[in-house]
Amino acid sequence: MPSRLGVRIEATAIIKRRMPQIRVIALTGFKTDEYVREALRAGADGYVLKDASYDELVIALRSVGDGKKFLSPDVSGHLVSSFLHRGQAVMPQMLQLVAAHIVVGGGWLLVWTLIIGGARRVLRSAPFRRVMDGVTGSVLVGLGVTAHHFFTNMWRHTLHTVFRVKSARGAVTIQYPDERRPYAPRLRSLHRLVRREDGSPRCVACMMCETVCPAHCIYIIAAEHPNPEIEKVPERFDIDLGKCVFCGYCVEACPEDAIRMDTGILEFSSYSRAGMIYTKEVLLALEPARPDGTPTSPVPIPPDMRPS
């Protein structure tokens, strides 16, 4: 919303636009440059302060009536004074700006000269040349090794596939998990509980494995076996594979050969600690791996990883 002064200036502009023959004198108490300039720009023919004398008002009216411009002496004096001071203020600012540019530019020139001079000295120095010679030599040796393996393998693969030389075999990439490198026969992989012929666990819940386990990750709850000739049976047999260190002590300690680590399964995982606890039912369902170590049972999927 414009101020009262703004409204008057706008009114002046409208009057002068629609009826340019009308003469307008701004009678106001403001004498700042900004207001005077705005009023004159809007088309005011005179700018008179409210404290003007009767004679001054008469002179203003006559001058404007004759088609001249009139400014109160106070206003014109103020305008001249501010113009002179502005000029004085601008010059030192410009000088400061020029001086700052000279100082900054000179500083940068000095820094670049030092950097370029220093870089040249470093490039020409004997230690730098020795390092560069060493680096170049190492790079060339590396390229040579890579090229040797690349061309040797390419030649062997060409012999094998094009010329049918079965004994020539180049390096191969194993396409895991579709292809697997054979595991060592003594590899300790995911545990399994061995079953009797009737499918019940061979384990007699003697607690030997739980006792010997250094990670304390076996939990057994024993129960009476329905067969009086067998002392006990594990009602619950959990292994926390999140804690297991795969030492194999449980397998070694078992007097019944009821627990083994021969499933060949190594890729078990879970989103949670609870998912790493394998129960008796899961362990009983696992089968031994093939002689080359390939698992025959699918990797058990914990409940938290099953698709919902």
Kindly state whether residue 250 participates in binding ligand SF4, applying the rule CB under 6 A: yes
Shortest Å distance, C-beta 188 to ligand SF4: 7
Size of residue set near ligand SF4 by CB under 6 A: 26
Among 16, 249, 279, 301, binds ligand SF4 (CB under 6 A): 249
Distance between CA 269 and CA 251 in Å, rounded?
22
Taking CB under 6 A as the binding criterion, the range among 33-41, 43-51, 253-261, 292-300 that sits at the site for ligand SF4 is 253-261
Q: Answer yes or no whether residue 159 interacts with ligand SF4 by CB under 6 A.
A: no
The partner residues of 239 in beta bridges, in order of sequence, read 218, 278
- What would the DSSP string read from start to end of 103-165? HHHHHHHHHHHHHHHHHHHHHHSHHHHHHHHHHHHHHHHHHHHHHHHHHHHHHHHHHHHTS--
| Least separation in angstroms between CB 208 and ligand SF4 | 4
Structure tokens, 252: 């070694």
Q: How far is the CB of 259 from ligand SF4 (least distance, A)?
A: 4
With CA atoms as reference, report the closest residue to 253 among 293, 294, 220: 220
For the CB of residue 268, give the shortest distance to ligand SF4 in the complex, in Å. Answer: 13
Q: What is the x/- site pattern for ligand SF4, positions 190-219, by CB under 6 A?
A: -------------xxxxxxx---xxx-xx-
Work out which of 79, 239, 283, 284 binds ligand SF4, going by CB under 6 A.
239
Q: Binding residue for ligand SF4 (CB under 6 A) from 246, 279, 285, 299?
A: 246
| Interatomic CA distance for residues 220 and 240, integer angstroms | 12
**C-beta closer to ligand SF4: residue 170 or 248:** 248
Taking the complex as a whole, the smallest distance from the CB of residue 206 to ligand SF4 amounts, in Å, to: 4
Question: Do residues 256 and 233 make contact, with C-beta atoms less than 8 angstroms apart?
Answer: no
DSSP, residue by residue, 80-93 = HHHHHHHHHHHHHH
Number of Cβ within 10 Å of residue 199's Cβ equals 7
CA-to-CA separations, 180 to 165, 174, 184, 266, in angstroms, rounded: 24, 7, 12, 12
Give 29 or 199: the residue with its C-beta nearer to ligand SF4. Answer: 199
- Residue from 220, 265, 282, 284 that binds ligand SF4 (CB under 6 A)? 220
DSSP conformational letter for 201? B
Residue from 259, 265, 276, 289 binding ligand SF4 (CB under 6 A): 259
Q: Which residues bind ligand SF4 (CB under 6 A)?
A: 203-209, 213-215, 217-218, 220, 239, 244-250, 253-254, 256, 258-259
